[in-house]
Amino acid sequence: MIILDASTLILLAKTELLDSFLESVGQKVLIPDEVKRECCEAKKSLDALLIGKAVREKRITVKRLKKGRLYQKIRGDFMLGKGEAEAIVLALSGKAMFVGIDDRNGINACKLLRLPFTTAINILVRMRERGLIEKEVALAKLRALERYGRYGDSIIADARTRLEGGK
């Protein structure tokens, strides 16, 4: 299973990569209830509508978690938001292939907890490497991620190099 945090989920939706990602993964995609709330309840933007549609179509499964001691400890120890903490607890409680997370504190938590993780940029690069999207389309999606995400210049430059060198 793959678990997504709101940051990665929103970036995939904003860059119109969400549908192709969901079609290509071959794994169950889960989000915690709080991530769904963060993505869909307060806004009616295109990304919120795309995410809500994927949930209604059951291409993304929403899982309700009890907010016990582990949740409180992870949230406090790593200064995480509710959605990030729930995503990490969900990953710890199951056999997650990886957690999609673009939040710096969440990434650090995954590293320290030895949870496999990825980011929206890495998902884009991987889709390009697998031949799921053409180079020009991938570079346009990277420009969108650069605009919407909070990536450092070196991360963008590395991704651009990898995308340009692909198939």
In the chain (167 residues long), the average pLDDT of successive 10-residue segments reads 96 96 94 94 86 96 91 95 96 90 96 96 96 96 96 95 80
pLDDT given for residue 94 in this prediction: 79
3-state class of 30 per DSSP? Answer: strand
DSSP string, 99-112: EE---HHHHHHHHH
pLDDT given for residue 93 in this prediction: 87
Distance separating alpha carbons of residues 97 and 54, to the nearest angstrom? 20
pLDDT given for residue 42 in this prediction: 73
In the chain, the domains with their CATH numbers are 2-120 (3.40.50.1010), 121-164 (no CATH)
pLDDT given for residue 67 in this prediction: 80
pLDDT given for residue 101 in this prediction: 97
